[in-house]
Amino acid sequence: MRSMKPAALIFDVDGTLAETEELHRKAFNAAFKEAGLNWIWDCSVYGELLRTTGGKERITVYANLIGEKAIDVPTLHRRKTEIYRKMVTSTSLELRPGVKRLIDIAYKQSIPMAIATTTTRSNVDALIAATLGGRVENWFMSVRCGEDVVHKKPHPEVYERVLHDLRVSAHQCWAFEDSRVGLEAALAAGMPTVVTPSLYTQTDDFSGATLMLSDLATPYSALIYRGHAQLHAVPSALIPLFGH
């Protein structure tokens, strides 16, 4: 029996499309140094801060944690974003394995694609231009970012907005995430979700995910299903997208 194609594929950005979190961390530290702040976020600190979604929110959480009061969070975050965008355009950043192939297949099969992220639109634009080329709208029918929502992940609002834009039902779409926070948002929106853990999320709890893969180039004959080390077939809707 012929499998039904997904109504849409909806992607998170940082850690899912590309391993960008190290660039973000370095951009934060550069912005802190410029601002005269004696803040250094090492990998351990940044890993903990990633439990909070949104750059401004992370700055606020950290400032409160160390008792720093006189911080102009919007200005500091704006400068961090400028630095990050320059880093993206000046480095040889690549998409994670299998991402470009999946996007190409979906594009050729006329499967709508969208982005649901907590990062800023300017960050998304820079990443897509550097990796896929051209404008983000050339590839994705809906792009919803941190500035589009009141409640960031794990709240499902960003996914709900994308689903509304596309006029599709959640259960007919597939979300692609790399973190527990993102997975919770997608599940709360009612979407089956493929998780590809990234550099900072290897130890997250991904129970509830429909599929957990090391990356999107993983053959469907050797997958981890719902966190258990078992061989399992890809759900029929995704077989045309994942190859052999």
pLDDT score, position 226: 41
Q: Which amino acid is at 83?
A: I
The dihedrals phi and psi of 165, each to the nearest 5 degrees, come to: -60, -45
Total number of domains constituting the chain: 2
Residue 12: which of 192, 241, 176, 198 has the closest Cα? 176
Q: Which of 62, 90, 118 is the last residue of a domain?
A: 90
Confidence band of 2 (pLDDT split at 50, 70, 90) = very low
* 83 belongs to a structural domain: yes
Alpha-carbon span 46 to 200, nearest angstrom: 9
Please count the other Cβ atoms lying within 10 Å of the Cβ belonging to residue 199: 13
The dihedrals phi and psi of 175, each to the nearest 5 degrees, come to: -100, 150
pLDDT score, position 233: 45
pLDDT score, position 218: 73
CB neighbour class for 105 (10 Å; exposed up to 12, middle 13-18, buried from 19): middle
Domain that holds residue 166: 8-18+95-242
Q: Which of 90, 107, 127 is the last residue of a domain?
A: 90
Average pLDDT of the chain to the nearest whole number: 90
pLDDT score, position 132: 96
Same domain for 166 and 191, yes or no, is yes
Residue 127: HSE in the Cβ half-sphere, 13 Å Cα cutoff: 26
pLDDT score, position 241: 72
Region 19-43 average pLDDT:
97
pLDDT score, position 181: 97
* 1 belongs to a structural domain: no
Checking if the pLDDT of 222 tops 60, the result is: no
Please count the other Cβ atoms lying within 10 Å of the Cβ belonging to residue 33: 12
Checking if the pLDDT of 228 tops 70, the result is: no
User: Catalytic site residues?
Assistant: 12, 14
Checking if the pLDDT of 70 tops 90, the result is: no
pLDDT score, position 237: 66
Same domain for 228 and 163, yes or no, is yes
Q: Taking a C-beta distance cutoff of 8 angstroms, is the pair 1, 104 a contact?
A: no
Alpha-carbon span 92 to 226, nearest angstrom: 33
pLDDT score, position 4: 73
pLDDT score, position 235: 63
Please count the other Cβ atoms lying within 10 Å of the Cβ belonging to residue 191: 26
Same domain for 114 and 102, yes or no, is yes
pLDDT score, position 238: 72
230 or 12, which is more confident? 12
Checking if the pLDDT of 230 tops 50, the result is: no
Percent of the chain with pLDDT over 70: 89
pLDDT per residue as tens digits for the range 82-120 = 999 999 999 989 999 999 999 999 999 999 999 999 999
Region 235-242 average pLDDT:
66
What distances in angstroms separate CA 202 from CA 75, 178, 184, one per listed residue?
A: 32, 9, 16
